[in-house]
Structure 1
Amino acid sequence: MKEENNGASKNKWSRIFRKKWFFPAMYLTIAAVLLTVVVWYQNLDNQIPEVEDDQEVTEDYTPNPYDEDAESVVGQQEIIRMPVEDQDQAEIVTKFFDYNADQEDQENALILYNNRYYQSTGIDIAAANGEAFSVTASLSGTVTEVKEDPLLGNVVTLSHDNDVVTYYASLGEISVKAGDDVEQGDSIGTAGKNLFGQDNGTHVHFEIRKDGKEFNPEEFFNKSVSELDSANQDANDESEAPDEGETEDPNGETEDPDQDEDQEPEADDENPADETSDSSASTSNA
């Protein structure tokens, strides 16, 4: 009886072995088991280094000082703002005189005083309703000068990092004094009137200077202070390059062949800046 059962079992297994799917199924099963073991082993092996990496970050990590410097420099770069509290109610009534501007903008950058036109070295800002308004610091800085000029009105000068200076003239009331440190947006006074820009009524005259050169404030509003560095470098490069049409004589002086020898120099009398007591007023047009 036992022999019959053993023979039946052997026949059963032999029939299974003869099936076409038996060996492929067995191979797939073995491969799946091996793959499972390999994946489990790899995950187990990677857990220890991850814990060590975390310990190194928390215990031995030291911040990179160069990264901190980079963040601090970016944080110090202020955006140049129009020196008014409400920009929507402000309008520019006199533009900065630019030789490369179109004729209309150049005409809007001329100031008539004492029957003579002067080129504006800044911009004049007035309120849409013509009323007085609060004048704010365009950049954070230090008040270096507060004075009353007979032609330009009350004047406040602020110095900033990187040899940048902002200049505010035609002020009415003044709320700062020399030596004060002001933050961007702080009030430095109110718009007023002056003789030199009397046609503009109540306004503030605003200038931006870099290394003693005046730049068009409109071109730098809502831009970082670093933009002034690039503009100043470009201006220096242009000033160093010789003009086409100019020739240099043996003595090192430049001569323009198109210049008329009989041309008379422009009259320099009746210059309102000469009537002021401060030399800086001679280069500023309110």
Structure 2
Amino acid sequence: MNNHDEKQASKWGRMQAKMKRLAKKRWMLPALYLGLSAVVLTTFLWMTSTTDLTDEQRDSEFDIENIGGHQEQGSPEELADENTGNTGNTEDPQAEEEEAVPVVAQDEVFELPVMDENEVAVVGTFHDYEASVEEQETALVRYNNYFYQNKGIDLAKEDGEAFDVTASMSGTIVKAEEDALFGQVVHVEHDEDILSIYQSLNELKVEVGQTVKQGDVLGEAGRNLYNQDAGIHTHFEIRKDGVPVNPIDFVDQGISALPNVSAEEADEQLEPESLPDPEEDTEDSENDEDPADKEDPKEDPEKDPELDS
């Protein structure tokens, strides 16, 4: 063994001796454990941060739509529509307005438009073509020496006092104004082309565009020029596609119970606050007059030639 090998062996022996002395120290093993733990933890954190950075860089490299710092998101079809100005919204604005009408609760049914049904009576009935002649006669309203068919029902108190008129069903106010003939009127839309109509009101409590719930007060019963014989009352109608139905038949029933309406029926109906031309009724009655009731000039004694002679 030469001198170099002897020196290496001597260093290795001294190192082993030092390690044996350090191993005998009580703090040696805990210090070694903590040191190794620190190294492992540092390595783990470094690797995690490097992975996240790599993912972000990878996303940036493959995002070909990211031009000038503006990142486009969405499917190719959506991006194409956006570039051509087509946002994909093809809904009609009018359809959106119609959808804005409050949806009536599934279990909500029509009610008489009063706080307490026991406090009022029906003083005017709905004119039904299938009813008896006597019932049809009682369902006529006399105005200006003409008789008109009642398109709804009239409610009044026996003592003739005013009472609160309420919404028969939840909906949106689409008309609330003064009418020279029918008094103050309110129309409530419950669904597409389904209205409840309230006439002969006083002191309106609502306005157009307002949402009302079933039972909300719309105004008070009052008088109008059209049906003066009813005194203080309210006129109540239910219409589908403009065609009136008998409200009594649909109290305690929902919207789905209303009958279907043909286009011909809808076209024949007038607006709620309008009356048919009385001259048309007069012409019809004249055409129906019995010819035997007309005066025969030959039977007139004053025009008999024999008497003149």
Normalised by the size of structure 1, how large is the TM-score? 0.56
What are the within-5 Å matches in structure 2 for residues 183-198 of structure 1? 183-198=213-228
**What is the alpha-carbon distance in structure 2 between the residues aligned to residue 174 and residue 121 of structure 1?**
22
2:265 is the counterpart of 1:236: no
Unmatched 5+ stretches in structure 2: 1-102, 277-309
Q: CA deviation at 1:194?
A: 0.4
Map of 1:243 onto structure 2? none
User: Which residue of the partner structure matches residue 26 of structure 1?
Assistant: none
Worse overlay, 198-207 or 100-109: 100-109
SS in structure 1 opposite 2:273?
helix
Answer yes or no: is the 8 Å Cα contact 1:158–1:167 preserved in 2: yes
In structure 2, C-alpha distance between the alignment counterparts of 1:218 and 1:190, rounded to whole Å:
21
- Asked which structure has the greater CA Rg, the reply is 2
Equivalent in the alignment of 1:149: 179
Q: How far apart, in 1, do the equivalents of 2:134 and 2:253 lie? A: 25
Which one of 103, 112, 115 corresponds to residue 85 of structure 1? Answer: 115
* Cα distance change of structure 1 residues 87 and 280 upon mapping to structure 2, 3 Å threshold: closer
Report if aligned partners of 1:152, 1:169 keep a CA contact under 8 Å in 2: yes
> Does residue 127 of structure 2 align to residue 97 of structure 1?
yes
Contact residue 152 and residue 235 of structure 2 kept, 8 A: yes
Q: Which runs of 4+ in 1 moved over 6 A?
A: none
Tell me which residue corresponds to 2:164. 134
- Counterpart code for 1:236: S
- Cα deviation for residue 77 of structure 1 reads 3.6
* Alpha carbons 1:77, 1:225 under 8 Å: kept: no
From 108, 117, 120, give the equivalent of 2:147.
Answer: 117
Match of 2:196 in 1: 166
Deviation digits for residues 113-167 of structure 1 (CA, Å, limit 9, x no counterpart): 1111011111111112211000000000000111111110001111112421011
Q: Kindly indicate which of the two structures has a greater share of residues assigned to strand.
A: 1
> What SS is found at the alignment partner of 1:281?
coil
Aligned to 2:88: none
Q: Which of 204, 210, 229 matches 1:199?
A: 229
1:174 match: secondary structure: coil
Distance (Å, rounded) in 1 between the aligned partners of 2:190 and 2:130: 28
Q: Which residue of 2 aligns with 1:251?
A: none
Deviation for aligned residue 1:75: 4.8
Q: Kindly report the root-mean-square deviation, in angstroms, between the aligned alpha carbons of the 2 structures.
A: 2.4
Other structure's SS at 1:88 match: helix
Counting matched residue pairs gives 171
Query: In percent, how many aligned pairs have the same letter?
Result: 47
TM-score (norm 2): 0.52
Tell me: higher relative CO, structure 1 or 2? Use CA pairs within 8 A at least 6 residues apart. Answer: 1
CA contact (8 A) 1:111 1:117 kept: yes
Could you tell me which of 265, 275, 281 is aligned with 2:273? 281
